[in-house]
Structure 1
Amino acid sequence: MDCEKKLYAIREVSEITGVKPVTLRAWQRRYSLVQPQRTEKGHRLYTDQDVALIGEIQGWLNKGVPIGKVKAVLESNVSLDGVELVGVEQLEEVAKFLQALADLNKSKADAIVSTVLKEYPLDVVDSQFIQPSVKALSLVRFGLRSLQKGLMDAILSARLSAIIDAENKAARSGRCLFISSDSINDFGSRLWALKLSQLGMHMVIIDGVDDLSGLVEHSGLGAYQVLALYSSRPLGPTQTATIERIKHSFDGEVLLSDLIEH
């Protein structure tokens, strides 16, 4: 008799693949890409074959294939091996998003961000949507760039924060205190916080902290397993020295954003 196949709940699949549950649902409902089994109560159950298929989908997305065209590529039986980028290095939604920002059309820009965050894994959103948008805005005349960048920051920060709040409800891998030296509308901090959140940690975020000395030997840190420190700007020698003191007084893991580390 064959061994019973292992089945995974959607949250387990999300932890294994790094693809958000909302994205897995969108791939099923809108694109018919992954069709899991259902329990009597309607909960999705995925097989190892489903998990492998999700990995293949991620591979095609990383090579530039839009989510709407992945099913046709899968059905063509083309192998990922040896295939270079087959599409543009940015999502087609980038142009629409930039136009909405130029028109100061918040509702349209927000709807585009919402769709992209639902339909694509976070690494694809970052590399093929956010980074190309930031690069394009850097070429806009300064006065207009400030307006459009401000609108983009507000929309992305709000959307990413909402996802973090939703992820917190299912967190089961400890608590992370996330300290940012930037304002609440810095989407870079939220992007990194969401990546940590998807590791299963419950995120507690504090923004606008320009002096880290209060964290040294703070008794409240005992409630956290991870301390994440974020800054979009390199820190000075005083703050760098403070971080070293924090590391020595904190029993958990200290994570630093790229600009702090370097």
Structure 2
Amino acid sequence: MRRLLSDFVDDPIYNMKAVEQQTGISAATLRAWERRYSLVEPKRTASGYRLYSDRDVALLRWVRNQMTEGLTISRVVAMLLAMRQHAEPIWIDSEDAAVTPQQEAPVPPPSFVQPLYQALAALDADRADEIMEQAFALYTMTTVYVEIIVPALVEIGEAWHRGEITISTEHFASAYLRGRLMGLFQAYPNHHDMPMIMVGCAPGERHEIGALIFALMLRQHGYNVIFLGQDVPVGDMIETVMHERPAMLCLSASSASSARALTELASGLSPLGPSAPLVCYGGRAFDQDASLRHEIQGHYLGSDPRDAISAVANLLSARNGYSV
């Protein structure tokens, strides 16, 4: 089966590590090709990270396969330029779009957790930047979110409870990570033609990093995502839903009290009838106390945000046939 290169989505969503894994082209080679041939022109996040689109990845696979057939990179680039100058369509065969097996990174992701924690505990933003940049260069963004940032944040919280760091240090760490994640969230395009998903924190819930990571992952997967932030009162939440009419509302709670504050939400949304959004929830409160899941009307998305993304897709597909 063949597809036109122009049919591939051009939204920037993949970091360099993900492109390496999907194309088999090393980061060093890719950067050299960009400098010398302008083969692809990735977008940049506010922090300077390269982001590539499905179209970029498809083109790079096409180039890789041409070279496998014996052509040099300069010959492939010349052929590509000629095709573009004559407005010839570029067809991508199914084998060109095949994903190459992922190669293991030289060190496991958890090895970054303690260094990141130590940098944040020392209020050393420069060192934290270095660690984050190394992690993003080695792993996919989702891996960095789930296996490095979240565990480091948990360690920060536990250190505060043990009295090993001050509340000001905990606030610094949270502010630093929130800033990095919000920069990425704002760098990704919002797909206004896709179902709207609102993501926020339950009333009284001040810990928003988990919800922000989930909102970022949803936006990366092509949804129209509105991030409401921390401590959203039920009344304001209902008013916003009534006005915006999202397809889904996803809420996070880390404590039982903030989780139980969501019990009034279902009755407040009842006037919308069948057009009411799907209500989903997650967070440490629901992960640690399964009984809370029966007190709140809605769908528990699980403890792993990667599984939660799949659950969102299944729920939207079952209700309205949406897919991304």
Q: TM-score, normalised by structure 1?
A: 0.65
| Matching of residue 196 in structure 1 with residue 218 in structure 2 | yes
Alignment-mate amino acid for residue 30 of structure 1: A
SS in 2 for 1:209: coil
After superposition, the CA RMSD in angstroms is 4.0
Q: Which residue is 1:17 aligned to?
A: none
Residues 136 and 207 of structure 1, relative CA distance in 2, 3 Å threshold: closer
Alignment-mate amino acid for residue 253 of structure 1: L
Residues 11 and 209 of structure 1, relative CA distance in 2, 3 Å threshold: same
**In the alignment, which of 83, 95, 101 is matched to residue 120 of structure 2?**
101
Q: Distance in 2 between matches of 1:238 and 1:45?
A: 45
Q: Which residue is 2:99 aligned to?
A: 53
Q: Which residue is 2:242 aligned to?
A: 219
| Matching of residue 178 in structure 1 with residue 190 in structure 2 | no
Residues 216 and 101 of structure 1, relative CA distance in 2, 3 Å threshold: closer
**In the alignment, which of 74, 80, 90 is matched to residue 110 of structure 2?**
90
| TM superposition shift of 1:208 | 3.5
Q: Which residue is 2:282 aligned to?
A: 257
Structure 1 unaligned regions, length at least 5: 15-19, 70-86
Alignment-mate amino acid for residue 53 of structure 1: V
Alignment-mate amino acid for residue 199 of structure 2: F
Please say which of residues 25-34 and 103-112 is displaced more in the overlay: 25-34
**In the alignment, which of 163, 166, 188 is matched to residue 167 of structure 1?**
188
| TM superposition shift of 1:169 | 4.2
The answer as to whether partners of 1:175 and 1:204 remain within 8 angstroms in 2 is yes
| TM superposition shift of 1:143 | 4.5
**In the alignment, which of 140, 160, 163 is matched to residue 142 of structure 1?**
163
Please say which structure displays the higher CA radius of gyration.
2
SS in 2 for 1:53: coil
| 1:152-201 CA distance string (max 9 Å, x none) | 21121111111111223456423222232334x73122112112222212
| 1:25-71 CA distance string (max 9 Å, x none) | 774563558999x99886625155565435x32xx5xxxx42xx3xx
**In the alignment, which of 11, 15, 22 is matched to residue 15 of structure 2?**
22
Paired residues in the alignment total: 225
Q: Distance in 2 between matches of 1:225 and 1:30?
A: 39
Q: Distance in 2 between matches of 1:135 and 1:162?
A: 21
Q: TM-score, normalised by structure 2?
A: 0.54
